[in-house]
Amino acid sequence: MHLPRRRRVGLTLIELLVTVLLVALVFGIAYRIMSRARSESRKGFWLQKAITELRNGTRAIAMRLKKTSYPTTIAKTGSRQVVISYKEKRTFDESGRLRNLVVKPSTGMNLSSRAGVIPTSSTPRRLLLFPMCVPEMDIDAYTPGLITWVEVLLEPDTVFAINGLSRIVVRERDEIYDTRSLPDRAFGLEGSFDSTLTIANRKTLVHDVGRVRLDVFATDELSGIHVSKTGSVGTTMKKKYLVSLRIECVNPVDKTMVIGDQCSVTIHTDVNIIP
């Protein structure tokens, strides 16, 4: 009489190893899929952030560049209201004809700009420096003028040693001007940017900056035709400048992902190129 064979319970060592390997393979594939999805999600968030910062940053710089101007005095002489510029002195006769035009050679209040490609650096670098001026009013009541000095800087990121990237920063300083003691009013002003002025506003516009490109283009423009009392005719020309700024951002994780934006503005001052 034969007894029935007992059924085997449990797994052999080989079957156990195969099961463990299959489970590890499934979890490994799942982890790689989740890691890739997380990486792509981070890239998407960075791209969205970079696009927003670039758009808002170039717009903010362009808005300030459009306001570049020299100090001006708006005053009342007898029954006439006159505008006296820092850069030009115009002399008119009784009929309103332009008799003489003098251009001040001073460059202290010109826009200062770098030119070409500016790479990131471990030290801050000034990209642009320019004045935005509110006129001095001396008609019925007196109001002093205001110069807002705008600096656009390329500063190293807080983790520059790791990613080698920089950021675009804007700083503003305010300066009051009063020309009542000067015979030529605003035309008699002398001076330039004073770095000891208190910073009134500071804002970081763009992060993860890989490089910046600045280009300055100039064209000749007629400033005025003046006729002297003796009948001689003089023509004064001046330069009209266009400043183009391009900012490129680099993904700090995936350095192959680069995105940029630019702005181009015709300014209202002369230009000094920073060496």
- pLDDT tens-place string over residues 109-156: 999 999 999 999 999 999 999 999 999 999 989 999 999 999 999 999
Angstrom distance (rounded) from CA 70 to CA 256: 43
Q: Which helix (H) or strand (E) holds 163?
A: helix 160-163
Beta bridge partners of 198: none
pLDDT of amino acid 18: 75
**Is 17 or 4 the better-scoring residue by pLDDT?**
17
264 and 209 in contact (C-beta within 8 Å)? no
Q: Which helix (H) or strand (E) holds 36?
A: helix 13-65
Quote the tokens at residue 49: 């952030």
The string of pLDDT tens digits covering residues 90-101 is: 888 777 788 888
Beta bridge partners of 272: 112
Q: Does residue 179 register a pLDDT over 60?
A: yes
Phi, psi at residue 42, to the nearest 5°? -60, -40
**Any idea which residue has 């009489």 for tokens?**
1
- How would residue 37 be classed by pLDDT, with cut points 50, 70 and 90? low
Quote the tokens at residue 111: 């826009």
Q: Does residue 13 register a pLDDT over 90?
A: no
Quote the tokens at residue 133: 């001026």
Q: Does residue 21 register a pLDDT over 90?
A: no
- How would residue 3 be classed by pLDDT, with cut points 50, 70 and 90? low
pLDDT of amino acid 35: 67
Give the whole-number percent of the chain exceeding pLDDT 70: 92
pLDDT of amino acid 267: 97
Residues whose CB is less than 8 angstroms from the CB of residue 139 and which lie 6 or more positions away in sequence, other chains included? 74, 75, 76, 81
Q: Does residue 9 register a pLDDT over 80?
A: no
Phi, psi at residue 28, to the nearest 5°? -65, -45
Mean pLDDT over the full length of the chain? 89
Q: Looking at this protein, which amino acid is placed at residue 123?
A: T
Angstrom distance (rounded) from CA 68 to CA 7: 93
Q: Does residue 224 register a pLDDT over 80?
A: yes
The string of pLDDT tens digits covering residues 197-211 is: 999 999 999 999 999
**Any idea which residue has 């990486």 for tokens?**
39
